[in-house]
Amino acid sequence: MMNPQEKTKQIEIAYSAVDRANDLLTKIALKTAQLDRDVKKLKNELSERLAEQADQQQK
């Protein structure tokens, strides 16, 4: 059986690990959102370029 100090230390370590995991998940979520915006922007740019090429080929 652990003494109260050991238990407290293990609980503190666990809370610290959870905080770190939450920080990392937040960073991942923010990066994912940025990548989603980048992909949407690139898709729009590609669509515009393809439309321009189609217009030029019809001329």
> pLDDT at residue 2 above 90?
no
Q: What is the pTM of this model?
A: 0.71
Q: Is residue 1 predicted with pLDDT exceeding 90? A: no
CA dihedral 11, 14, 15, 17 (to 10 degrees): 160
Give pLDDT tens digits for 4-54: 999 999 999 999 999 999 999 999 999 999 999 999 999 999 999 999 999
User: Quick one: which of 17, 39, 35, 15 has its CA closest to 27?
Assistant: 35
- The pLDDT value given to residue 59: 73
Instruction: List phi, psi (to 5°) of 15.
Output: -65, -40
